[in-house]
Amino acid sequence: MSFRDVTAADQRLIVLQTLEEDPGYSHNEGVLRSVLGTFGHQVSRDALRTELAWLTEQGLITVSDAGNVQVARLTARGQDVATGATRVPGVARPRLEG
């Protein structure tokens, strides 16, 4: 697995887990970029949108436009992946706590 594959898989998991932690299961791309930055992933808006499109293709999120900002919402399948109940190639597996 290449470095790019590892970082993309980690970024995708972080996005899913961030959405899973929100009471409404959604966030806009600005919030998601900020959260990714706190985990050491400095990503451009374009790069994030590429990952959001990938997650959408996998059925893990839906994306809607709010003006010129994208808003991601977790699907039931995405929640299963975020919590480790289901595995999807291309998304890192959650680590055990403790």
Mind listing the pLDDT tens digit for each residue in 74-95? 999 999 999 999 999 999 999 8
What is d(CA 96, CA 62) in angstroms, rounded to the nearest whole number? Answer: 27
Please state the pTM of the whole predicted model: 0.95
Query: Exposed/middle/buried for 97, CB within 10 Å: 0-12, 13-18, 19+?
Result: exposed
* 92 in any annotated domain: no
pLDDT value at residue 98: 62
Total number of domains constituting the chain: 1
Q: Which residues contact 87 (CB under 8 A, 6 or more apart)?
A: 81, 93
CATH number at residue 39: 1.10.10.10
Residue 9: which domain range? 3-83
* 95 in any annotated domain: no
pLDDT value at residue 96: 73
* 24 in any annotated domain: yes
Mind listing the pLDDT tens digit for each residue in 24-72? 999 999 999 999 999 999 999 999 999 999 999 999 999 999 999 999 9
* 97 in any annotated domain: no
The answer on pLDDT for 1 being more than 90 is no
pLDDT value at residue 95: 84
3-state secondary structure 70-88: EEEEECHHHHHHHHCCCCC
